[in-house]
Amino acid sequence: MDIRVVFARNLKHYRQACGLTQAALAAAMEVDRAHVSAMERGQQNVTLQTLQRLATHLDVAPAKLIEELSELE
């Protein structure tokens, strides 16, 4: 599976598990909500720094955001 699709699915899953809206996550990261939306649709390549910031805000290990998890499929 394409890593962007895996990342997008995991990002949305962990964001929702934290009870955050796209707007709330975007505000916490000081980015536009459209940027979060693009990441969740697999349309945005992210840097390692962005991956780390997301993981911090979602309270997960960065690896969890790129790991293929069957329970999310």
Structurally, what CATH architecture does the domain formed by 3-58 represent? Answer: Orthogonal Bundle (1.10)
pTM confidence score: 0.90
Contact at 8 Å (CB) between 10 and 42? no
Contact at 8 Å (CB) between 46 and 7? yes
Q: Which pLDDT band, with edges at 50, 70 and 90, does 71 fall under?
A: low
Per-residue confidence (pLDDT) for residue 62, from 0 to 100 = 97
Q: What is the pLDDT of residues 3-57, one digit of tens each?
A: 999 999 999 999 999 999 999 999 999 999 999 999 999 999 999 999 999 999 9
